[in-house]
Amino acid sequence: MIAPVPALLAPAVMVWLALVNFPALLGVPEGDPLAWLLPAVYGAAALLGVVRALVLRAGQPAIYALVGMGAQSAPAQDTA
């Protein structure tokens, strides 16, 4: 009951600190476009992944059900 709380908070704090201090991490001045462009690329990639998953779930639910099954998904596809 207790362990999940710090397991959630620690990475969230690390991501927040990295985003706040991104110009210093990159070695660029405050307000430089690179300081917001690089994190935005990661956010856009995450958003595209979520959209792709939703489209796959709506259009091909049988394939979506196999996502995350690893090697177990191959035998499931052979029988389908």
- How is residue 17 written in tokens? 């600190």
Q: Which of 70, 22, 56, 57 is nearest to 42 (CA)?
A: 22
Band of the pLDDT at 79, cuts 50, 70, 90?
low
Q: Helix, strand, or coil here: 10?
A: helix
Band of the pLDDT at 76, cuts 50, 70, 90?
low
Please report where in the chains the tokens 């462009």 appear, as a residue: 37
Distance CA 22, CA 18 (A): 6
- What confidence tens digit (pLDDT) does each residue in 8-30 have? 999 999 999 988 898 998 899 98
Range of the domain at 10: 4-79
Q: Which pLDDT belongs to residue 30?
A: 86
What are the E-state strand segments in the chain? none
pTM summary value: 0.63
Q: Which residues contact 56 (CB under 8 A, 6 or more apart)?
A: 63, 64, 67
